[in-house]
Chains A and B, each alone.
Chain A
């Protein structure tokens, strides 16, 4: 009886191996689906068209960007929203994405910035947030394109090259001087920008 029972419960060896490999295949398939889906959605939410799907971005931020050299220039190379506002490295990217989800989505749903007046009211706070982030990471997002190793000081205007060399010697980063290059500066930017620059 005993012998029969065990025989009934455990399938033959070749059936067992088949079941295991099926399980493995399923796991791999689901893994690919989940991981791929995660990365795909990460990429989908990292495009300019996604940023511009909220009207807060369409009216003011994007209009202002279009006036600047980061959108329209001699060579036709341009920066899109995530090039500056989302880090390229995976871990930093995920951290930024989560903090944005916590901070920006409720603001969008509650209509914190849904008029130009409200936007202007919060502009200084928003700008300071970005200045501090850039300052803390050594203007990492600027350096994705602007590499100091590839920057030829002899090809710059004398004024620019002198100031760049000074800044490098003092250990400054891009954002210390280049504020308000892609969007307009908020009212009271001068005092606030000094504060952000002096922050260690």
Chain B
């Protein structure tokens, strides 16, 4: 028990030291920047290089001391250390990082559904399609009348059932916006592991 306490204390102390060092560095950086504007880039890069070296060193030391205790520490401090928003840790007024450009997956014969009531996914690009009050270009092929000719799957009867439970001749408003449920896919690495089983 005493051991754990001691380790956590060391961990806390090292964190504090690191934080003060960072603050100092930032202030010095600011002063140098205001002094010589022409040499901003070189000094900034040098400083950041030094900084990263030092922080790496301190981090390593900290890791060695406090790996077992990370969870406890987070609980004690009430904040977590390695949490970033979806847009990364760049400033709020900075531009977000560009997403890598992934092509839409084209799967001949369609993508298999993974559970019973899953809306089938779109196995082709829909870049050229538009859905508005005037037009729904998905229905160029996927309407009841054209689906056979275009060998495209037609909407299931549920799409024609109104809120009163009665069958309508046209796709009901609640089901009109295809992409609310049916989305195209890209061949990308999953962000998190998925253990879903039907």
Contacts and interface: CB of A to CB of B under 8 A. Distances in A.
A25 to B, nearest CB: 57
Given A159-B108, A190-B143, A185 B127 contact: no
A69 B134 contact: no
Nearest to B145: A190
Contact of B139 (A69, A184, A190): A190
Q: How large is the interface on B (under 10, 10 to 19, 20 to 34, 35 or more residues)?
A: 10 to 19
A158 interface: yes
B138 to A, nearest CB: 12
Given A69-B127, A163-B150, A180 B137 contact: yes
Contact of A187 (B106, B133, B137): B133
Contact of B134 (A68, A157, A163, A186): A186
B198 interface: no
Interface residues of A, number: 16
B36 to A, nearest CB: 43
B108 A185 contact: no
A30 interface: no
Interface string A53-78: 00000000000000011000000000
Contacts of A186: 134-135
Nearest to B152: A159
B127 to A, nearest CB: 7
Does more than half of chain B's interface fall in helix, strand or loop, or is it mixed? loop
Contact of A159 (B124, B128, B134): B124
Contacts, number: 33
A185 B150 contact: no
B25 interface: no
Contact of A185 (B106, B128, B134): B134
B128 A69 contact: yes
B124 A157 contact: yes
B45 interface: no
B134 A181 contact: no
Contact of B106 (A69, A120, A157, A180): A157
Contacts of A123: 134
Contacts of B108: 157-159
Contacts of B133: 187
Contacts of B53: none
**In the complex, which of the residues B127, B133, B134, B137 has the most CB atoms of chain A within 10 Å of its own CB atom?**
B134
B31 interface: no
B97 to A, nearest CB: 22
Nearest to A193: B140
A159 B152 CA distance: 10
A187 B134 contact: yes
B124 to A, nearest CB: 7
A158 B106 CA distance: 10
A168 to B, nearest CB: 16
A15 B21 CA distance: 104
B164 to A, nearest CB: 25
Most chain B beta carbons < 10 A, residue from A123, A157, A163, A190: A190
B134 A184 contact: yes
Nearest to B128: A69
21 contacts: A69-B128, A120-B134, A123-B134, A157-B106, A157-B124, A159-B108, A159-B124, A180-B135, A180-B137, A184-B132, A184-B134, A185-B130, A185-B134, A185-B135, A185-B137, A186-B134, A186-B135, A187-B133, A187-B135, A189-B135, A190-B139
Given A159-B124, A184-B132, 17 more contacts: A69-B128, A120-B134, A157-B106, A157-B124, A158-B108, A159-B108, A163-B150, A180-B135, A181-B128, A184-B134, A185-B130, A185-B135, A185-B137, A186-B135, A187-B133, A190-B139, A190-B143
> Which 4 residue pairs across A and B have the least CB separation, nearest first?
A185-B135, A187-B134, A158-B108, A184-B135
